[in-house]
Structure 1
Amino acid sequence: MQEEGGMDKEVKKYFRKILYSISWSLILLIAALTFGLYYKLALIGKNPILYNILFYSFFLIGLVALVYYLIKTWKNGGR
């Protein structure tokens, strides 16, 4: 059954899941690269400082949240 737009609802829902999954993954990757390499928070000198620890903590929290979102989206059918 097609909608007025010419696409089936299930196909549209599937493409939306793909788009959201790729988008959120790229946002996390770009944020990690920007803050990690451009602002040099991922580079640990002789001793790790508070900024390095905070950067890696936020990155791990973001990664866990992304994995949870992806599992939830693809397991239950998501949005």
Structure 2
Amino acid sequence: MDKEIKAFFLRIVNTIAVILLWLFINMALGLKLRMAEIGSHISWINWLFYIWALLTGIAVIFYVKRLWRNKIKLPY
């Protein structure tokens, strides 16, 4: 297989893996540990969860943009 095609497919797999990992972590924190549920009032744990989700979401977006903009040399 050509190296460029292999690098392209690895970028696709890397993008999907990073986004799914981010989603699974946030689902586990939000749904399983009930950090996303707002009861009668918003608590500090809700603030912590939503700030975490926002900041890590922004980090994932920047990572994926950098991965696709630059021709990063993948180790494979």
Q: Same fold by TM (over 0.5)?
A: yes
1:37 is aligned to 31
Q: Is residue 2:6 matched to residue 1:12?
A: yes
The one of 21, 24, 30 aligned to 1:27: 21
How far does residue 75 in structure 1 lie from its aligned partner after superposition? 1.4
Measured after TM superposition, the shift of residue 76 of structure 1 is 1.8
How far apart in 2 are the matches of 1:29 and 1:8?
32
CA deviation profile, 1:18-37 (whole Å, cap 9, x unmatched): 01100000001001111101
Aligned residues, how many?
73
Where does residue 78 of structure 1 map in the other structure?
Answer: 72
User: Equivalent residue of 1:33, what SS?
Assistant: helix
The amino acid of 1:50's aligned partner reads W
* TM-score (normalised: structure 2): 0.90
> What's the offset of the Cα at 1:46?
1.1
Q: What is the aligned-residue identity percentage?
A: 33
- Give the root-mean-square deviation of aligned CA atoms: 0.9
Task: Could you tell me which runs of 5 or more consecutive residues in structure 1 were left unpaired when the two chains were aligned.
Answer: 1-6
| Gapped regions of structure 2 (runs ≥ 5) | none
Q: Which runs of 4+ in 1 moved over 3 A?
A: none
CA distance in 1, matches of 2:10, 2:30: 30
RCO comparison, higher one (Cα < 8 Å, 6+) = 2
1:67 lines up with 2:40 in the alignment: no
